[in-house]
Structure 1
């Protein structure tokens, strides 16, 4: 049952729980299939693709050096994001092909209207969690 414990671990690390709508952007042959399967098992369904018109709870954005403009990709990623939703930018770790410097994410997030809240390790990938700043409630 080690696999089941690990599966729960990936989704838990990412803050993903049952019945969440998870959209996957940037999938390619190099993405981590175990991580993807763990998330699908946790949410109880398939990951949504870029053509989905649902309100999204979590966006998984697989991003590599050379994929283009990260700000543009983040702007596209948040179009259908719920108010409490968040984006995980998943990049290859240092020493792996396509590695992205953390500073690129740190500089791109605010331009796209996002704030970086945490970073985690996921096997050969590193994850950066980005959220939309909470709207300030006017005082009465």
Structure 2
């Protein structure tokens, strides 16, 4: 079995594919804590290289924003995520699944995203305990 087939079989490859992460992309991570899904982080790091933190000066292709109810103002965090984001970049808002500590109601994301200048396009399973909402800047609002 090839390494690629092995990766697909254990789900590592498919996680990075689901998030649209490609080699060479700059991925910023916000909200990291002990409870994040390490398999997801590993899959994205294997695909893109090192994750950069929120203090980066680089323009980023994607933002992984781990957010739990009680982590602070979600609106402000989404606005902060937009700062370094490339015009065609994506914010992945990762929240604990229903029934897990820190769960965020999907309606909260649906209401806050447009206020922060983002549009939700899809939701994916991001691991055993996490869901991810894909948020993008609407086409007419993108940076040039």
Superposition TM-score, scaled by structure 2 size:
0.90
**CA distance in structure 1 between the partners assigned to 2:124 and 2:6 by the alignment:** 20
SS of 1:127's partner is strand
In the alignment, which residue of structure 2 is the partner of 1:98?
102
In the alignment, which residue of structure 2 is the partner of 1:4?
7
> Closer, same or farther in 2 for the Cα pair 1:94/1:134, shift >3 Å?
same
**CA distance in structure 2 between the partners assigned to 1:122 and 1:42 by the alignment:** 16
| Structure 2 segments unaligned to the other structure (5+ residues) | none
Matches within 5 A, 1:19-58: 19-43=24-48, 45-58=49-62
SS of 1:135's partner is helix
The alignment of Structure 1 onto Structure 2 pairs a total of residues equal to 135
Stretches (4+) displaced over 2 A: none
1:103-122: CA deviations, max 9, x gaps? 11111100100000000112
Superposition TM-score, scaled by structure 1 size:
0.92
SS of 1:97's partner is coil
**CA distance in structure 1 between the partners assigned to 2:77 and 2:6 by the alignment:** 32
**CA distance in structure 2 between the partners assigned to 1:68 and 1:40 by the alignment:** 26
**CA distance in structure 2 between the partners assigned to 1:38 and 1:112 by the alignment:** 28
RMSD: 1.3
SS of 1:91's partner is strand
**CA distance in structure 2 between the partners assigned to 1:68 and 1:95 by the alignment:** 20
In the alignment, which residue of structure 1 is the partner of 2:23?
18
Q: Comparing 127-136 with 90-99, which one deviates more in the overlay?
A: 127-136
SS of 2:86's partner is strand
**CA distance in structure 2 between the partners assigned to 1:79 and 1:3 by the alignment:** 37
